[in-house]
Structure 1
Amino acid sequence: MASDGLSLPDQIRQLNDARVLVLGDVKYYPSVVKSILPIVGPTSAIELRRWGAEFLAEAFATPALPNGEKETMQPFVLATLESLLENEAEDEQVLRSVIQTAASIYPLAMRWIINNSYDTVTWERMVGIKQRILRTWDQATPSVKICCIKFAQRVILAQTPSNGAESRYGGALDVSLDKVPPNHQSLDPGHLEAEGMGLLDRMLSVLHESSDALIIDATLNCLSILVRTRPPTANRIINALLNFDPLRLVRSPITPKMKVTVRSTEKTTRLLLIHLAKRDPHNPIVPRIQQHVERTMRAVVEALDETGRKRALENQQHDGLDAKRQRVVPEVVVPPLGPGPHSLADVFSLTETLGLKTFDISQVPPDLITKLAVTTLARIEPQLLIKATNAVRSRLEILASAPVPELNPNTAPLGVDDDDDDYEPDFFQAEDTEQILNKLDSSPPPTNELATMDAALGLKSFHLPQPQPLTADMALSAGNETVSRVLELVKTADELSARKIKAGFTRLAASSGVKEPWVTTLIRLATRSSAGIEETTVKGEDETTRTQSLGANIRDVLYGYIMEDFRKHIDVAVTWLCEEWYNDKMLAKAGDNFPMHYEKCALRLIDGFLPYIHPQDKVITRFLSELPELNRAILSRVKIMCRDPSVVQLALTSLLYLVMMRPPVKEIALDTVQGIWSDYEDARPMAAKYLSKYRPGFIEEATRQLEGDGAVQSTAAPIAT
């Protein structure tokens, strides 16, 4: 380590080497800290004091060093810290580092005195350091004041009761007033709590007395942890925040720096209050917090944002009267209609722009036109709307008062005669009913030409051709095609975004467009749709032909889909077999003449993927554990697995899982293990380990029987010879 014979740069270099050493391995911290204390004392050079104070702050703040090591180190450091604080002309950088070190040490020193009440010297020295820092708080520079605020926060945390949620961490926050015994010889819980609350009031007074935004922001940043971990401080802090007004920092004239300061303080306060409201959303004070946040935001915007304001009216005098600005209304220039004829669009067009007049408004969606019309009418000036309305009204009046043009006889339309206006009909006395009947009797019979014309012009009745009769084969083919399309939809479904669907036999099938509902639909088409009618027979003279069913085809499709990647589709296999088992149980209640499919489908699936099982594959264990029912036929397939010595352990582990987790099949599983022990010699060591635990008598009896069979064979061999 540095010595007095070395120059100052050499000493700094050696100290930096020591820092590199402890950063590489924290176990050197205690020895390095003890060795540098004499070098960085109050009589050392300013460079050494700065380096030493900064190093001590890093050592007690680093999370890499356990708190137990820090706690044993702090008694040796307090004397140096006290001597540095007593220097009235101490460097500001050294003072900041010393206060930060004291803030990290205070909870450790308090825990030390709680566990070692005899060491009163260490605690008295820590109390002296605390009093010195609190006296420095008011007269210090802003940067030192911020460090004092942090020290006060750590003192409040240590001297107030906690909520009990921080004890599991074992860190500095674990030190609280709850840890102090009632009869401690050096610590008085009542005095400590009163001092802590007094420091809290001193911190909160900054919000109402200080005009330095840095000090206010530093105080606000220290309050969140107090509210979260120390419930007795919550009401005081929240009330102080609700009474804090960032606009009191505004001074005239308003400068850009002042705007930034006020907005920064308002944002810090707003984020703190929102954070507190989110942590306890059911607290009755949350609505008050929200109202305060919104009100403060509006007040700051109104006080500082001048972008939406009009410029102030200049004082102008005209004939002794104050001139006022007049609101200017845009002028509406209505172009004349011009010579006719005019359409309705021409009457209502107030622009001469050809592009706007020829624009086809029917191409715009009606909902967009509605929004544009409502928005335009809401923002238009009332005087402008009145002028436009009057212009259209005057056009209509001009058109109404225009004379009607006379028709040219040479160019008049057909059927128009000049004498039409002079035509006056002759009025004759109407015929009575008797005269009309006499005329009808004397008139010749009508010809059949009109009836013939009506028959020629009348519409004939039209009939669609009869559809082709639907046979069973056609219906089956259409069903198979539909199933294939649904299966393609299942394969392309996005499994990552599929939401969880409530399990059970009563869940809704195909309630969304993802994979599982469509799979459930296919499975239920196979199991439930044709239940009880799929085994119909058609009897001939000499043979009986069984009809092919849609359910059997869907089962083939499901089997093929699962075997494409049975590890990935094992959930589909389990769902299928659960539906088959449920359907078999329902049919069994209805009668005994219905075919059962559960066992056949289960054996088919096991026989399909057992040849591809490898020793590290857990799919067989999951498959057996999730099947709704197990029997000897299914477990016999697990026994067949043991023909391959590499998967013996997997097979026996799967059976052991059934023994432990599925008591109803425990005996069947143990019988299968016994069969494996008897039939496969390579599997006997592991099978014997399981049987010795669950069936201890079997191994001895089977061993004696094997030895007896061997002796019989050895004696019978010479006789046979």
Structure 2
Amino acid sequence: MAQSTGNLGDQVAQLNAARTLVLGDAAFYPQIVNGVLPIVGARAHLELRRWGAEFLAETFSSPALALVQKEQLSAVALQMLRDTLELPEKDTLVLKHIVEAAASLYPLVFRHIINHPEDTAAWENMTAIKDEILRRWDSFPFPVKVCCIKFVQRVVQVQTHGVTDPRVRSRKDPQATQPVDVDVDHFQRPEQNETSLAIVPRNHPLLSLPNLEAEASGLLDRLLSALQEDESDPLLVNATLNSLSVLVRTRQSIGNKIINAVLSFVPAKQARTPITPAVRVGVKSMERTARALMVNIMRRNNNHPLASKMQQHIDRLMQSRQEAVDDSSKKRGLPTEPTDGLDNAKRARLEAESPPLLKVPPLPSGPISYAQLFTLTEDAGLSSFDVKQLPVDLLVKIVVPLLARVEPSTMYQAVDAIRSRYQTVQKQQAAQPPPAEEEDDDDYEPEYQPMDVAAPETEQPAQSTEPADLQPDLVSLGPFVLPQPPPLSETEAADIGRGAVGRVFDMLATSTTAPAAKGKGQQNLGFSRLAGSTFDRDAWVTLLTRLATRAPAGLEGKPDTGKPTISDSIRETLYRYILEDFRGRVNVGIMWLNEEWYNDRIQMKFAASQRTEDDEEPSVNIHYDKWSLRLLDGFLPYLDSRDTKIFIRFLSEIPEVTIPVTQRIASLAKDPERVNLCVQSLMYLIMFRPPAREMCLNAVEDVYQTYEESRPAASKVLSRWRPHSTVLEQTLVTRTENQP
């Protein structure tokens, strides 16, 4: 229908205003769609048909419009889309938007037909549109082909079995896993059961399950054929791969078939000769899309049965791309004729340009140092930089790559410039006459004296007559000897030692802990480990404990001398450090006490070996008993029932359990709330530390006899380990006598 340009422009402006209205409020969609369909029909102007097709594609893909409203509007829009698609005039934009709208409409119409099998007109229109799109798929323009791939993907997704929610069943057969007679109640929750063959009843008058499933299988094979052809357009292949990801995720029945097709797809085979930059970009894009598809599948399902094959195919894709495409994309090889060092004849014949000349600054006047000899730059910052500040390994990492990238012509010019400088300096030195002193006696070697040695009085007038500016540097005349520092007193040495120990403890707060997981073949060396092998917190704690125990071994003199030592300062600091956070630093306490016990035994063994028959009993400073009791006295008041595991671990890993230790444990029974902690700790030592079993049983008897609240728990321990205990028998007798 012919229309004037002015009327057409007004109509398009009004239609754009209507589109703006529905984009602002989706509630106007039904009214606007029903109003614009007569205007943009198959007999309308091309511009109006373009606008109408684009608007319908936008409407049925909009997430703002509800599914129920889309399903209602689909019936009225199908006829317009079918008439426009069957027109002899084929406009690319109109076809593209019609196929997009059909891809959005197909699941809606399919669900509508399941609910309303009497609406045969809607299904006939949808079937006609589908057949027309599939028949002309290969002859469509290229942009329309990409939209056809999306449409076919939607058809395959709808016409295959999907996952259903067992909670959503038909009213007529509530026991059925798949509804046999679908009514409105089945679709009260459409988001639970997606549109697929799983919700189609077997006796539907319009939808035949075998025919639909066979058609979907054929369309899937046609879709996968793009991956099996020798020469396919990269954009069509990428569109196919992107559409397959949805099918793999939502349709498990055809997922393995799709993955196997992708595994047999090698993008490098799609490279057509000659290999142009466009071909290389296309092959790389197909390889990346296929790799992204398989990576996303493995990411969603780590236990996929084809995960190993997909990983191997990803590696093959990268390797094939490098072999088939990357070799041709490398830079061209070196020319047959050299570009540098050409003589004038060749340079003139080949029209080669001379390499740029390197600017070499002149040498300064006067004596020349090695740094000035090899400096070819006039940058003051670079000339004054001291390269000795950098470590050697870093210099090697910097210099070697730089030398590999230096142009040969520039390198040759720099070497020639330094060579000419060196020859000039040699000629200047050879032209100067040697000093008279060296001519009189070449073998004379003066004996220089240090600065602090006074020169003879006879040489003073000679030195004073020499001009001040010609006097030699006195530092170069001999070694400079610093005066010896004054000796430190014992108090000063102790203060400095305590300060050093305090700084080490400050480092513990900032140092990291050692990794808990050890690699294969690694083991904990215990006492044989090197304290400084790592720089974590455990290494510093080991260093401190060994400084306190092993370092002063044999230097402490007789015990109880009353003089504070550096080792006692370290022990005192360790004691305070552990008590600040006993629950988090129990490992430090265990390590320290093990070192103390080990050092005590070594010292006792050494003293016994040095003792003779006439000697008195050797005196050895025993530190384990003292500090273990101090540590227990420090944190026992703060323990409660929640610290049972920590306290039992501490008792199980200290090297020795003594009678005073068991007495400290028994003192916990004074508090009725910590009776169980006391009995459980003693029971653990009884069971797993046999050397301390008798001491702990005595402590349990004492607790049983002293504290009445502990008798229910302590009696269980005594009845097992000391069933004939006198204390237990007396209690039983007393209970029997008191009974009426």
Normalized against structure 2, the TM-score is what?
0.50
Instruction: Report if the CA contact (8 A) 1:615-1:650 is conserved.
Output: yes
Instruction: Report if the CA contact (8 A) 1:677-1:683 is conserved.
Output: yes
Give the residue type in structure 1 aligned to 2:238. L
Instruction: Within 5 Å, give how 1:616-635 maps onto structure 2.
Output: 616-618=642-644, 619-635=646-662
Instruction: Say whether 1:264 aligns with 2:285.
Output: yes
Distance 1:390 1:589 in 2: 74
* Match 1:248 to one of 236, 255, 271: 271
**Do the aligned partners of residues 329 and 454 (structure 1) sit closer, same or farther apart at CA in structure 2, a change above 3 Å counting?**
closer
Counterpart of 2:593 in structure 1 is 577
Counterpart of 2:115 in structure 1 is 39
**Do the aligned partners of residues 672 and 234 (structure 1) sit closer, same or farther apart at CA in structure 2, a change above 3 Å counting?**
farther
Deviations 1:183-214 (A, max 9, x none): xxxxxxxxxxxxxxxxxxx8974687786313
Counterpart of 2:321 in structure 1 is 296
Instruction: Within 5 Å, give how 1:12-27 maps onto structure 2.
Output: none
* Match 1:214 to one of 238, 241, 245: 238
**Do the aligned partners of residues 496 and 502 (structure 1) sit closer, same or farther apart at CA in structure 2, a change above 3 Å counting?**
closer
Report the Cα offset of residue 569 of structure 1: 1.8
**Do the aligned partners of residues 331 and 494 (structure 1) sit closer, same or farther apart at CA in structure 2, a change above 3 Å counting?**
closer
Distance 2:159 2:715 in 1: 62
* Match 1:502 to one of 521, 524, 532: 524
Give the residue type in structure 1 aligned to 2:633. D
Give the residue type in structure 1 aligned to 2:458. M
* Match 2:636 to one of 589, 600, 610: 610
Distance 2:418 2:487 in 1: 66
Report the Cα offset of residue 670 of structure 1: 4.3
Give the residue type in structure 2 aligned to 1:267. R
**Do the aligned partners of residues 335 and 137 (structure 1) sit closer, same or farther apart at CA in structure 2, a change above 3 Å counting?**
closer
Report the Cα offset of residue 234 of structure 1: 14
**Do the aligned partners of residues 362 and 391 (structure 1) sit closer, same or farther apart at CA in structure 2, a change above 3 Å counting?**
closer
* Match 2:509 to one of 468, 491, 495: 491
Deviations 1:671-702 (A, max 9, x none): 43333222112233343455556656668624
Instruction: Report if the CA contact (8 A) 1:676-1:683 is conserved.
Output: yes
Q: Secondary structure at the match of 1:567?
A: coil
Give the residue type in structure 2 aligned to 1:557. T
Distance 1:394 1:551 in 2: 66
Counterpart of 2:665 in structure 1 is 638
Percent identity, aligned pairs only? 25
Q: Secondary structure at the match of 1:529?
A: coil
Instruction: Report if the CA contact (8 A) 1:247-1:300 is conserved.
Output: no
Instruction: Within 5 Å, give how 1:592-603 maps onto structure 2.
Output: 593=618, 594-603=620-629
Give the residue type in structure 1 aligned to 2:271. R
Distance 2:628 2:665 in 1: 12
Report the Cα offset of residue 656 of structure 1: 4.0
**Do the aligned partners of residues 266 and 288 (structure 1) sit closer, same or farther apart at CA in structure 2, a change above 3 Å counting?**
closer
Q: Secondary structure at the match of 2:641?
A: coil
Report the Cα offset of residue 646 of structure 1: 2.1
Instruction: Say whether 1:703 aligns with 2:739.
Output: no
**Do the aligned partners of residues 708 and 468 (structure 1) sit closer, same or farther apart at CA in structure 2, a change above 3 Å counting?**
same
Report the Cα offset of residue 668 of structure 1: 4.3
Deviations 1:478-514 (A, max 9, x none): 5444333322332342448899793511111122333
* Match 2:458 to one of 453, 458, 463: 453
Instruction: Report if the CA contact (8 A) 2:494-2:566 is conserved.
Output: yes
Give the residue type in structure 2 aligned to 1:572. V
Distance 2:597 2:414 in 1: 79
Give the residue type in structure 1 aligned to 2:594. C
Deviations 1:222-241 (A, max 9, x none): 9999xxxxxx9999889845
Distance 1:221 1:512 in 2: 49
Q: Secondary structure at the match of 2:115?
A: coil
Q: Secondary structure at the match of 2:588?
A: helix
For structure 2, the residue ranges without an aligned partner over 5 or more in a row are 1-29, 32-64, 70-110, 128-153, 184-189, 200-207, 250-255, 334-348, 426-435, 437-454, 463-476, 609-616
Deviations 1:112-158 (A, max 9, x none): xxxxxxxxxxxxx988765443233345xxxxx4xxx6xxxxxxxxx
Instruction: Report if the CA contact (8 A) 1:206-1:215 is conserved.
Output: no
Distance 1:358 1:331 in 2: 23
Distance 2:480 2:399 in 1: 51
Distance 1:395 1:670 in 2: 93
Report the Cα offset of residue 658 of structure 1: 3.8
Give the residue type in structure 1 aligned to 2:622. M
Distance 1:529 1:381 in 2: 61
Instruction: Report if the CA contact (8 A) 1:536-1:546 is conserved.
Output: no
Q: How many residues align?
A: 515
Instruction: Report if the CA contact (8 A) 2:160-2:216 is conserved.
Output: no
RMSD between aligned alpha carbons? 7.1
Instruction: Report if the CA contact (8 A) 1:677-1:688 is conserved.
Output: yes
Instruction: Report if the CA contact (8 A) 2:683-2:717 is conserved.
Output: yes
Instruction: Say whether 1:679 aligns with 2:706.
Output: yes
Deviations 1:533-562 (A, max 9, x none): 43437xxxxxx9565544333222211221
**Do the aligned partners of residues 648 and 336 (structure 1) sit closer, same or farther apart at CA in structure 2, a change above 3 Å counting?**
closer
Deviations 1:563-597 (A, max 9, x none): 22222221110111111222233344442733433
Instruction: Say whether 1:134 aligns with 2:217.
Output: yes
Distance 2:243 2:269 in 1: 14
Distance 2:537 2:328 in 1: 57
Instruction: Within 5 Å, give how 1:145-294 maps onto structure 2.
Output: 145=223, 205=228, 212-214=236-238, 217=241, 240=264, 244-245=267-268, 247-248=270-271, 261-269=282-290, 293-294=318-319
Distance 1:525 1:398 in 2: 62
* Match 1:531 to one of 532, 535, 553: 553
Instruction: Within 5 Å, give how 1:408-419 maps onto structure 2.
Output: none
Distance 2:176 2:209 in 1: 13
**Do the aligned partners of residues 397 and 637 (structure 1) sit closer, same or farther apart at CA in structure 2, a change above 3 Å counting?**
closer
Q: Secondary structure at the match of 1:628?
A: coil
Instruction: Report if the CA contact (8 A) 1:524-1:579 is conserved.
Output: yes
Distance 1:675 1:43 in 2: 94
Instruction: Report if the CA contact (8 A) 1:206-1:219 is conserved.
Output: no
Counterpart of 1:562 in structure 2 is 578
Distance 1:375 1:461 in 2: 41
**Do the aligned partners of residues 292 and 535 (structure 1) sit closer, same or farther apart at CA in structure 2, a change above 3 Å counting?**
same
**Do the aligned partners of residues 606 and 58 (structure 1) sit closer, same or farther apart at CA in structure 2, a change above 3 Å counting?**
farther
Instruction: Within 5 Å, give how 1:648-663 maps onto structure 2.
Output: 648-659=675-686, 661-662=688-689
Q: Secondary structure at the match of 2:271?
A: helix
**Do the aligned partners of residues 209 and 683 (structure 1) sit closer, same or farther apart at CA in structure 2, a change above 3 Å counting?**
same
**Do the aligned partners of residues 703 and 61 (structure 1) sit closer, same or farther apart at CA in structure 2, a change above 3 Å counting?**
farther
Distance 1:604 1:391 in 2: 77
Deviations 1:148-172 (A, max 9, x none): x6xxxxxxxxxxxxxxxxxxxxxxx
Instruction: Report if the CA contact (8 A) 1:635-1:672 is conserved.
Output: yes
